[in-house]
Amino acid sequence: MKNSIGREIPEEIINGRALYGGEFALNEEVAKAAPKVKPVKPNESKLLNSIEEAIIKTGLKDGMTISFHHHFREGDYVLNMVVDA
């Protein structure tokens, strides 16, 4: 059997396995769901009372990654405030 780049692969190596056909071999459409967003009216505010409240509202759980804008890196106190919360 030949693989996606045309090399012959011996049957004893394949041993019933499917060969990788390349990144576009399946060519299936995938439905992605956008997150639900709630519009904020001009007279309302998105600001919360604390960083802790913001963390709770995001649904952050153990093992998840927190990312910061590059201006908040390299020892900026905002990172420490979030970690302390």
Render pLDDT for 5-46 as a digit per residue (tens, 0 to 9): 888 989 888 888 888 888 888 888 888 888 888 888 889 998
Query: Is this prediction's pTM over 0.95?
Result: no
Angle at which helices 51-58 and 77-84 cross, to 10°: 60
Structure tokens given for 29:
């459409």
**What is the distance of C-alpha 34 from the center of its chain?**
13
